[in-house]
Amino acid sequence: MAANTDRRRINAPSGGTTAPVFAKTVKDGAYLEQLRPRRTRGKDELRKIYDPTKANPSVLQTSIIPSASGSAYLELPSQSSPKSTSTLIPPPSTLKISASIQGPKPLPRSAPFSPSLLLTTTVKFAPFATRHRRGYIRDAVERDLGVHLETALRGVIIGERWPKSGVEVVITILEGEEDAWWGDDAGSGNGNGGGWGLLNVLAGCITVAGAAIVDAGIDCVDMVSGGVAAVVRDNKDGKELVRILDPCPAEHQDIVAACAVGYLPSRDEVTEVWVKGDVGEDPDQLIEGATFAALGSVGVMKEVFLESLQGKFEGHISEAKESGKRKQEDVEMSG
């Protein structure tokens, strides 16, 4: 049966499904500017990845997929100050990424001998991850992110311990960071959507993949985490350039440059650098800021791993106690 006559399948719309934008929002520039999200954090303050004291903390969890060797989930909300209580205004996007590790497992017999572990990375946006609906086939952006992620992870895993073996890192982006604020495109059409959100996506992929690799028990030289720093123009006069850590593209009207890195804190090494925009004559300051942002994620990862190990040990201890009680009861009953 042809695809267009298949009554059992309901295809989703090809375009984005956003809330309606009324004429006042489009024509009145002052009212539209009031709806722009504002950065409430300091220029060197990161978004909180894990804070159990808050009502809606950000999330970094491990061992979420039982069938995988290791898995992790990362969620970073946009902590902008709300400018409107209307539910028709699209809220700033959050970053939601899941990672799963398949392997290490032996390669097929037909594969050539490899003295080290073969690493394969796959990055895929969910169809509903962005405002514009994505296809089911990987596009050039997803393949590019996969190459960057593979470069960041290749210097972390000790591949010589698994000859003729392979491991696959599968990243699913459930919700991606926006490239710009929706009002810039709706109002003037001069939005700064130039792929700035992809750097935050890459940093999140590096962090969640590093957590999943540790959860899988694969030997690594160090924990790897991702960080982003950007240079933006001050909104007051538009002339002063300010370096900020962990930027949210929807909060800034003019982003000059941005940098995403994969960082090993104990070895003080950078495994991946992606720079975008006009960095000027001194790009080291921007790269250093991105490493500071990556360093802020390491403490959170350590706390999550300690809580996970503590929970596993407590489970093993409780199971051992229960089995000991059952054995003692069996002995008493037989006696």
Assessment of whether the complete model's pTM goes beyond 0.95: no
CA 232 to chain centre: 22
* 98 to 39, 57, 60, 118, 201: CA distances (angstroms): 26, 17, 10, 21, 12
Q: Output Rg (C-alpha) for the chain, integer angstroms.
A: 23
- For the beta sheet containing 225-233, the strands, ordered from the edge strand earlier in sequence to the opposite edge, are 241-245, 225-233, 255-264, 269-277
**Comparing 105 with 87, which gets the higher pLDDT?**
105
| Number of alpha helices (DSSP H) and beta strands (DSSP E) in the chain | 6, 11
Average pLDDT of the residues of the chain = 78
Extract the tokens encoding 224: 């790897």
Query: Is 78 a residue whose pLDDT tops 90?
Result: no
Instruction: Of 98, 173, 167, give the one whose Cα is nearest residue 139.
Output: 173
**Whole-angstrom distance, CA of residue 219 vs CA of residue 157:** 6
- Angle, helix 197-216 to helix 140-154, in steps of 10 degrees: 50
Structural domains of the chain in order of their starting residue, each with its CATH number: 29-327 (3.30.230.70)
Question: 121: pLDDT confidence band, cut at 50, 70 and 90?
Answer: very high
Burial of 223-259, coded b for 16+ CB within 10 Å and e otherwise, reads bbbbbbbbbbbebeeeeeeebbbbbbbbbbbebbbbb
* 130 to 23, 135, 198, 328: CA distances (angstroms): 24, 11, 11, 58
**Comparing 270 with 311, which gets the higher pLDDT?**
270
Q: Is 262 exposed, middle or buried (0-12, 13-18, 19+ CB in 10 A)?
A: buried
Predicted confidence (pLDDT) per residue in 122-174, tens digit: 999 998 888 778 888 888 899 999 999 999 999 899 988 888 899 999 999 99
CA 137 to chain centre: 20
Residue with structure tokens 């940093």? 203
Give the pLDDT confidence score for residue 7 in this predicted structure. Answer: 65
**Whole-angstrom distance, CA of residue 156 vs CA of residue 42:** 32
- Angle, helix 197-216 to helix 284-334, in steps of 10 degrees: 30
Phi, psi (deg, nearest 5) at residue 79: -100, 50
Query: Is 206 a residue whose pLDDT tops 60?
Result: yes
**Is the preceding omega at residue 20 within 30 degrees of 0, hence cis?**
no
Give the pLDDT confidence score for residue 311 in this predicted structure. Answer: 73
Extract the tokens encoding 296: 């802020």
**Comparing 162 with 239, which gets the higher pLDDT?**
162
Q: Which residues contact 32 (CB under 8 A, 6 or more apart)?
A: 25, 26, 183, 186, 187
Q: Which residues contact 149 (CB under 8 A, 6 or more apart)?
A: 121, 123, 169, 171, 202, 205, 206, 209, 272
Which SS3 state, helix, strand or coil, does residue 174 take? strand
Query: Is 257 a residue whose pLDDT tops 60?
Result: yes
